[in-house]
Amino acid sequence: MYDFHLQVSKIKQTMLGDSKESSGRPVVRTFYDHVQPINDLDFHPISPILISGAKDNTIKFFDFSKTAARKAFRVIQDTHNVRSVCFHPCGDYILAGTDHPVAHLYDVNTFTCFLSANPQDSSAAINQVRYSGTGSMYVTASKDGSLRIWDGVSAECVRPIIGAHGSVEATSAIFTKDERYILSSGKDSCIKLWEVGTGRLVKQYPGAVNTQFRCQAVFNETEEFVLSTDEQNNEVVVWDALTSERVARLPSGHTGAPR
């Protein structure tokens, strides 16, 4: 019991910190250039560049090293609503998950777009796309409830996990640092851990309701804990990643359901 309370206290300190200090932190940069809602953001792994993907079918580049800059200095015009964006770890490529069923791979220097020649019966929009830490693989989470693991070089689908979240949307998917597992979430209110090599379901993390919004599940930095949100109670839910025991429910601090 002592260990449990100590663990919860540690989580609360890490996540909440000093509320007075948090409320007083100023906004250091504000960017604007989209005409429709922004769906996702990602930082360049090396350069001071932020990219955004939006419903206006664009991916925009912002330089946050320049204090006077407010608008994008480069724009990729896609053909679909851009739901998710992710830099390759080397920074030379961008993956975009869109309303198109196959991820769009862009060369950052030329904006040339590449599509997989092996779509593996992909037919639904992609909610999230994420590279593994080395860029050797990437994963897509789709509106048809499926996950697909792709070779990061050939863009071949190496392992489809059809119906990973039943017939409802798979809303997020990320690799563990060792690239052995994928953590996914979906509108079935399930957070699941999958083995990359086999596609086998390893663990589930129950206890958070997500049926309406595209909520995400993530690890903390050390991968000791899994975090997601409960849209019903407007809370952040925390699980022990190893045992799948729910260890904390914390107020999100938002007035609406966090995503």
* pLDDT tens digit at each of 259 positions of the chain: 334 344 444 554 555 454 444 556 788 888 889 999 999 999 999 999 999 999 999 999 999 998 888 899 999 999 999 999 999 999 999 999 999 999 999 999 999 999 987 776 788 999 999 999 999 999 999 999 999 999 999 999 999 999 999 999 999 999 999 999 999 999 999 999 999 999 999 999 998 888 888 889 999 999 999 999 988 888 899 999 999 999 998 887 777 666 6
CA proximity to 175, closest of 212, 213, 141: 141
Domain ranges of the chain: 31-219
In angstroms, the CA 233 to CA 76 distance is: 38
CA proximity to 104, closest of 82, 124, 89: 82
In angstroms, the CA 253 to CA 85 distance is: 26
What's the predicted TM-score (pTM) here? 0.86
In angstroms, the CA 213 to CA 119 distance is: 26
Question: How large is the greatest C-alpha to C-alpha distance in the chain, in angstroms?
Answer: 57
176 residue type, one letter:
T
CA proximity to 82, closest of 128, 113, 114: 128
CATH superfamily entry for domain 31-219: YVTN repeat-like/Quinoprotein amine dehydrogenase (2.130.10.10)
Residue 12 host element (H or E): helix 2-16
Per residue in 58-81, pLDDT tens? Answer: 999 999 998 888 899 999 999 999
- Give the CA radius of gyration of the chain: 19
- The residue assigned the tokens 């999958």 is 194
